[in-house]
Chains A and B, each alone.
Chain A
């Protein structure tokens, strides 16, 4: 689990994937359904143990691309 954020009752679990080359697809392509299931399980465990206050939950994927001229981030909100 890479990031957990909260604002106004919205709890966001964010998976961050970094790629230096896109030859095998962008970072978002690496989030398979197995990975998605893992993130969901981790979120459940987090909620069970930490008991955060929230109204809704969202899963995001942040795809970070690092190139020779710096880096950029693409966020897929509500990814799964």
Chain B
């Protein structure tokens, strides 16, 4: 047994673990960046470097985890509409604008210390050191948020 939240046998199915588990990714920027909201197409433009600079003139640097990692497939599929191979080729061709790291902690550290950086992390790794961007007016916790899935 492990500790449980309710003794009632009622609704026992609710004590089952989630059989699929949801992932939500947050798009994060450093706290000096005044941006608050992106459209889904803005996000694609940022990550495909069609947008090179932020409205305040800072150059965009994309920080993300290895795009071949299983947990990144949702991001590639939903935000970039590219295959893993396409993303890797694109990153190779634009090395100066991408930083690929091993963990969400490193994404956060680089975003905090790099003006103009934008990163993608698991929502549950979020800290107060960065700001979260809304996508199409929605935060990661809201129904219909783009970077949410199983």
Q: Do A and B bind each other?
A: no
